[in-house]
Structure 1
């Protein structure tokens, strides 16, 4: 059986590797290989999307005309690098959302492509609902719009398709496999 192993070297044993997690042996397929190769390339690239650790502040700003507005949701990251979500509302148009990987949101910002590192980090890390703590002190009507916009983002991302079994401290005691 062909498999993809996500493993690390066993210290002091040059001929042995250890699975990174209990589910780190994946049946090989061309699509799985391409997806994993792409994500690993992204993860090791300069400027890789940071891990999302939570949702920070969020706010909605109404526009100058009815039906117009913008919601910004700031995310907390492992590195402290800025990541934010933006929803633009224009009269007569469906709300449009995007993710920004920096201090400035430009017109080129878009939602992340599915099965990319950024997509996984958002789809698998964001809570189902916008936390109330993100909206403290916000006008109730604007908070309601921010919650609705967050729901648009969650629907746009879709469900996390990662089926990982988290590594446990006992995983370090798991048997290793020789090369």
Structure 2
């Protein structure tokens, strides 16, 4: 059915919501099973609400009323029943309405989603408990126990009082050589969104492999360890730090120490590895 059966007021309100959330670049069509760890954190970190819901009705929004819609997709106005509030402290109604962009089926038509269980990453609409706005137009994923099992540890980590802060860059880097040949220590002090203390220490000892770790407190700890992959600590670093050490952050004076700081940063960056994403 067409969206024309809904009121002009409702349509206008929804158009405003989707215009706010449309990203500037196209996104991949991967389903929940193909989401990387970084994808899940990206979605959850920006979502005041994470819900499980069952779709009850859908209506197609005409293309001319779907700004930012990518070719091969259709915009739907969905009515769903809330099954569970997985994360969030904002009241939501039992019946929810929202806009979502989904791929057309093999016949070039809107897929039939009625009765499908979905996970929604969303934000509330002020004074409208029956409406939500997805954090991006495709932040709806088919529900599965496997997906929920991957999602819940991410949400727990994000909501923890000890959650690592968002890293925004490198403030300072300083390398100091020791008294023995091959001995050195490099410290990286990172900028964070809320000025939370984060430092990375790289220690080299003669005859030993370089060792590095990250401290999330005011104390710079040489015994700190490197974060495990696919943890929030790893994500904050691997998905935020630049590929190379900015020259402006390197406080070392002599060329040898500056080169050592750059080499130690490269060691950390290589150990962290890439931050794979399936969504732009």
Tell me how many residue pairs correspond in the alignment: 165
CA distance in 2, matches of 1:64, 1:145: 15
> Alpha-carbon deviation of 1:9?
2.2
CA distance in 2, matches of 1:30, 1:145: 47
Instruction: Determine helix, strand or coil for the equivalent of 2:206.
Output: coil
CA contact (8 A) 1:71 1:86 kept: yes
- CA offsets, 1:74-122, max 9 Å, x none? 0001111110111111111111111111121335411111111121111
CA contact (8 A) 1:35 1:115 kept: no
The unaligned stretches of length 5 or more in structure 1 are 166-179
Alignment correspondent of 1:25: 140
> Alpha-carbon deviation of 1:71?
0.6
Superposition RMSD in Å: 1.9
Change in Cα spacing, 1:2 to 1:80, as seen in structure 2 (3 Å) is: same
4+ aligned runs moved over 3 Å, structure 1: 26-32, 162-165
Q: Which has the higher contact order (CA 8 A, sep 6+)?
A: 1
CA distance in 2, matches of 1:31, 1:57: 41
Superposition pairs for residues 1-179 of structure 1, below 5 Å?
Answer: 2-28=117-143, 30-136=145-251, 138-165=253-280
Instruction: Determine helix, strand or coil for the equivalent of 2:226.
Output: coil
How high is the TM-score relative to the length of structure 1?
Answer: 0.83
CA distance in 2, matches of 1:154, 1:6: 30
The unaligned stretches of length 5 or more in structure 2 are 1-115
CA distance in 1, matches of 2:252, 2:205: 25
Q: Report the more deviating stretch, 20-29 or 94-103.
A: 20-29
Change in Cα spacing, 1:70 to 1:8, as seen in structure 2 (3 Å) is: same
Q: Report the more deviating stretch, 28-37 or 17-26.
A: 28-37
How high is the TM-score relative to the length of structure 2?
Answer: 0.54
CA contact (8 A) 2:174 2:250 kept: yes
